[in-house]
Structure 1
Amino acid sequence: MDNGSKKDVMFARMREKKKEVKIVRRIVFAIALILLIAGLLGGRTVYKYITEGLQPLDPESETVVEIEIPIGSGLDSISAKLEENGIIKDARLFKYYAKFNNESNFQAGTYKLTKAMTPDELIQSLKSGKVYREPVFTMTIPEGLNLKEIAAVVQKRAGIPEEDFMEYVTNESNIDLLISKYPSLLSEEIKGENVKFALEGYLFPATYPFYEEKPTLSTIVGVMLEATAANVVPHLAYLQEQEKSVHWLLTFASLVEKEATAQSDREVIASVFFNRMKLNPEMPLQTDPTVAYAHQRHLTTTLYKDLEIDDPYNTYVYKGLPPGPIANAGKVSIDAVLDPEQTNYLFFIAGKDGQPHYAIDYQEHLENIANYLD
């Protein structure tokens, strides 16, 4: 590189540096001007807006929002994305704050952020390329649990008595409040006459981070409902087209979840239930987990006398789906109901070999029992 080229580069860098200095000065001047106006006019509203804008949007929120920061994103676009996703109140304030503190070199990547994070925590996360805020503890809710089983997990991890949890999720006033808060997810169907527990099947199985030692029941139930909504709401248009409800979907998915094993194909299991309801409407679903739910206790082996219970959840006695979910279904089971395999199967068993075995007719079903169960 000749001397002339070196000088050009040097002057270009100097111009860029001066430009950055001017920008910082403008930011400082703008903030000073706002504060001056606020002081002259007794502008408590302006001052309050600025101070609140630099506080966490919701200090108690534990809802994790996944945000993608593309390569080459500048502070303007990053600030705008944080505001669009409800992480900060005002993109301009966040941008000015970062500039004023001379923060830069933000990393591209996928971030899991919360409304409870301060501007400094957000900046550290974006600079380090990782979530800066660590949860106090996490709570894992496995697939296939019912409300009483979830209550036991909550007691173990959060220290809230099972009785308190069950009281909260069955309280009529709480249910009405939650229906109004999550209208796309919860409907009056969950309060049906034969539904045992309104929120059964609506608390999504996942691992949840909590950022306080003693989260409230409202917080715990809220994050689980939001997770369910995140997995169900994208399918609302399809459900409406099929003239089906969220309650129908979660009820159906709960049967698939309880019948499935680690090796089984949920799409095929879903097809068996569909076929029974569509191809042979007079044929009950006859799924053992609903019998256990009717009895409200675990059945190691379902006996003939167990099948006689007169309960709307007993799918050996009552045709079609039960009044509501019998457990919490995971995403795979929900997807299986939305997109089942196309088969002619009407029967299936889980063999001693751990594999599912399907049959088109009763004779083949009896052969599978003889070959894989006896």
Structure 2
Amino acid sequence: MTEDNKRAKNDLQKDKSKLKAINAGKLEEKQKEAGLVRKIVLITFIVIVLSLAGAAYGTYKYVMNALSPVDENDDEIIEVTIPIGSSTTGIADVLKENGLISNASVFRYYVKFKNESGFQAGDYELSRSMSVDRIIDELKHGTLYEDYQLTFTIPEGRWLEDMIEIISEETNITEEEFVEAVTDKEYIEDLIERFTILEPVVLDEQIRWPLEGYLFPARYDFVEEEIDVKLLIETMLSRTSEILLKYYNDESGFTYHEVLTIASIIEGESRNDDERALISGIIHNRLTANNMPLQMDPTVAYAHGEHFSRTLYEHLEIDSPYNTYKVQGLPVGPINSPGEASIRAALQPEQHQYLYFYHAEDGEIYPSKTYNEHQEILQEYRDSTEE
């Protein structure tokens, strides 16, 4: 081998050694980078887990503190009164105002979570050393008022003007006083701020009565012989709020106002509880059908402000935001005061494909899926009774 060949061979070996060293360095560098990335990911993961754990622990401590006695060492007796017709919100507010609980919202959610009910109206002797569970137990086993000085009942499905007439006949509140209160814009705005279910839409100028459909139809009992008009309104509104929120779900796709509007139509159309879910399903089907009006007769009567024994073709021509033969979709607002069964049906409609129904003279309801089927039912049942 010549000297030149030897030198070339040596140079080649040197180059290979250098290349091998370079590659080894790069590999080591990549391994270091990969290790660093893994450390960063691990540290980030640990930080996130610790943050979530800290937040969860903080929330847990916050809730537990809210459910614990306000002051374990304070046994001073505090007398509180839970008014008749009080909602969970009303009870929570009374307890918070008297310093018996530290957080009214936690109390409400806790009561809802545990599905507590059966709270009694009356006078109670409580203390800040009581836990929320102890207070709840006391409120369910208190002394219920038995001697009511004032009792009256609002039937389901009544228009607000009919309710006002009943209230003026059964209580010290005059029609003028009640009308003034329920048409007072500032007072309604105040109620909107205080009651979740009340939305600004109730002040729409097209709506006849802002609180139509919001004052719950039920029996009302009061210890005092005379009551304040605003106390009565807010007691009735609290009842509606409690019932509506018991069934309402954000996934319904409807606002509170729309739910009460649907419920009021169900109330106006139904003859008994067995029909409500069926009729609710028909209303929901019509609302989702293409260009199909609701065409519900009770909305026509409300548009006229007159109760009809039977809706005639001439009645359908009235131009009103309540007339569902003229407007598309729901009317501008509720058309009466729906009860619990109708509110529940509005949010829990029967699943079917019916689009029409007919109430026959025999008391039965006959649903149908197509217009032709509906016409056949009309010919069989309605037309035969007119002969």
Normalised TM-score (structure 1): 0.69
Deviations 1:187-224 (A, max 9, x none): 11111232221100001111111111110111111110
Q: What is the SS of the residue equivalent to 1:145? A: coil
Alignment counterpart, residue 80 of structure 2, candidates 42, 45, 56:
56
Match of 1:253 among 243, 263, 268: 263
Alignment of 1:302 onto 2:302:
no
Partner of 1:285: 294
Q: In the aligned structure 2, how far is the partner of 1:149 from the partner of 1:365?
A: 34
SS of residue paired to 1:209: strand
User: Following superposition of structure 1 onto structure 2, how do residues 141-152 of structure 1 map, counting pairs within 5 Å?
Assistant: 141-152=154-165
* CA–CA separation in structure 1 for the residues paired with 2:232 and 2:363: 35
What is the one-letter code of the residue matched to 2:95? G
Residue 186 of structure 2 aligns with an amino acid whose one-letter code is S
The 1:132/1:312 distance shift into structure 2, 3 A limit, reads closer
Contact 1:83 1:89 (8 Å CA) reproduced: no
Kept in 2: contact 1:264–1:356 (CA 8 A) = no
Identity between Structure 1 and Structure 2 (%): 35
Work out whether residues 356 and 368 of structure 2, in 8 Å CA contact, stay in contact via their aligned partners in 1: yes
Q: Secondary structure at the match of 2:353?
A: coil
Structure 2 counterpart of 1:342: 351
Moved >6 Å (runs of 4+): 82-85, 125-129
Does structure 2 conserve the Cα–Cα contact (< 8 Å) formed by 1:276 and 1:283? yes
Query: 2:338 aligned with 1:320, yes or no?
Result: no
Whether contact under 8 Å (1:268, 1:340) holds in the other structure is: yes
CA distance in structure 2 between the aligned counterparts of 1:347 and 1:83, rounded to whole angstroms: 45
What's the offset of the Cα at 1:88? 9.4
Distance 1:189 1:320 in 2: 16
Two-structure CA RMSD over aligned residues (Å): 3.1
Three-state SS of the structure 1 residue aligned to 2:221 is: strand
Q: Tell me the equivalent position of 1:162.
A: 175
Q: Which residue of 2 aligns with 1:18?
A: none
CA–CA distance in 2 between the matches of 1:246 and 1:112?
Answer: 25
> What residue identity is the alignment partner of 2:381?
Y
Unmatched 5+ stretches in structure 2: 1-72, 102-115, 127-134
Could you say which residue in structure 2 is the equivalent of 1:216? 228
- For the residues of structure 1 that align with 2:325 and 2:118, how far apart are their CA atoms? 48
Separation in 2, partners of 1:289, 1:83: 38
For the residues of structure 2 that align with 1:185 and 1:328, how far apart are their CA atoms?
A: 15
| 1:80-118 deviation line (CA, Å, top 9, x unaligned) | xx98983994669xxxxxxxxxxxxxxxx985423x525
Cα distance, 1:157 vs structure 2: 1.4
Which residue does 2:192 correspond to in 1? Answer: 179
* Matched-pair contact (CA < 8 Å) for 1:271–1:343: yes
Match of 1:332 in 2: 341
What is the alpha-carbon distance in structure 2 between the residues aligned to residue 253 and residue 110 of structure 1?
Answer: 24
**1:29-178, aligned counterparts within 5 Å?**
54-57=78-81, 61-64=83-86, 86=95, 89=98, 112-114=119-121, 117=123, 119=125, 131-178=144-191
Q: C-alpha distance in 2, partners of 1:293/1:196?
A: 10
User: Aligned-pair distance for 1:259?
Assistant: 0.2
Unaligned stretches of 5+ residues in structure 1: 1-29, 35-49, 67-81, 93-108
Give, as a single letter, the amino acid of the residue that structure 1 aligns with 2:84. E
Give me the TM-score of the superposition, normalised by structure 2.
0.66
3-state secondary structure, aligned to 2:95: coil
**Deviation string for 1:39-78 (max 9, x for gaps)?**
xxxxxxxxxxx6xx644347xx333469xxxxxxxxxxxx
Distance 1:111 1:283, change over 3 A: closer
Distance 1:127 1:170, change over 3 A: closer
**Is this contact kept in 2: 1:62–1:219, CA < 8 A?**
no
Q: Which amino acid aligns with 2:322?
A: Y
